[in-house]
């Protein structure tokens, strides 16, 4: 019984730490609006990358887990919380895309980008991945 309480306390502590981290790095309104416009292309990009058998297995697994997380109706921080509700999703997407670029290269992401050049430039700007 004590170990269950310990696990619950640990999970609550991790959740609280994530909330504090999101409060410190919350995206400004301009970036959030720009990111929302890219959302349809970004979801297609993630799906295409996850299905690309030429990418390393670890990258595809991370992308698949990210897509599953985005599809699940509950989040670390509920979406009704202003700004922060969507920030946890954005932070996870950015982290996975950066990891994908480190392992598979920016060319793989560019090859699968379904949107415009301006959209890709906005994606690289928002995520901090360089051309």
100 by Cβ neighbours in 10 Å (0-12 / 13-18 / 19+) ranks as buried
| pLDDT surpassing 90 at residue 52 | yes
- N- to C-terminal Cα separation, the chain: 52
For residue 72, how far is the Cα from the chain centroid? 14
87 by Cβ neighbours in 10 Å (0-12 / 13-18 / 19+) ranks as buried
Given a contact cutoff of 8 angstroms between Cβ atoms, the answer to whether 59 and 51 are in contact is no
pLDDT tens digits along 6-22: 776 666 666 666 556 55
pLDDT tens digits along 70-88: 888 777 677 676 666 767 7
30: confidence class by pLDDT, cuts 50, 70, 90: very low
Read off the pTM. 0.68
Exposed e or buried b for every residue in 108-130, given b needs 16+ CB within 10 A? Answer: bbeebbebeeebbebbbebbebe
Domain total of the chain: 1
Instruction: Please give the mean pLDDT across all residues of the chain.
Output: 78
Q: How far apart are CA 61 and CA 67, in angstroms?
A: 10
pLDDT tens digits along 100-129: 988 988 999 999 999 888 888 888 887 777
Q: Which domain holds residue 57?
A: 2-127
């Amino acid at each position: 019984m004590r170990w269950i309480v310990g696990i619950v306390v640990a999970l609550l502590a991790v959740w609280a730490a994530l909330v504090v981290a999101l409060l410190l790095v919350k995206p400004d309104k301009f970036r959030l609006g720009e990111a929302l416009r890219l959302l349809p292309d970004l979801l297609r990009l993630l799906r295409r990358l996850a299905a690309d058998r030429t990418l390393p297995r670890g990258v595809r697994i991370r992308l698949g887990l990210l897509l599953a997380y985005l599809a699940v109706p509950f989040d670390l921080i509920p979406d009704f919380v202003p700004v922060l509700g969507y920030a946890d999703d954005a932070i996870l997407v950015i982290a996975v895309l950066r990891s994908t670029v480190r392992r598979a290269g920016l060319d793989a992401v560019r090859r699968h980008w379904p949107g415009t050049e301006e959209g890709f430039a906005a994606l690289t700007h928002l995520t901090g991945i360089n051309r």
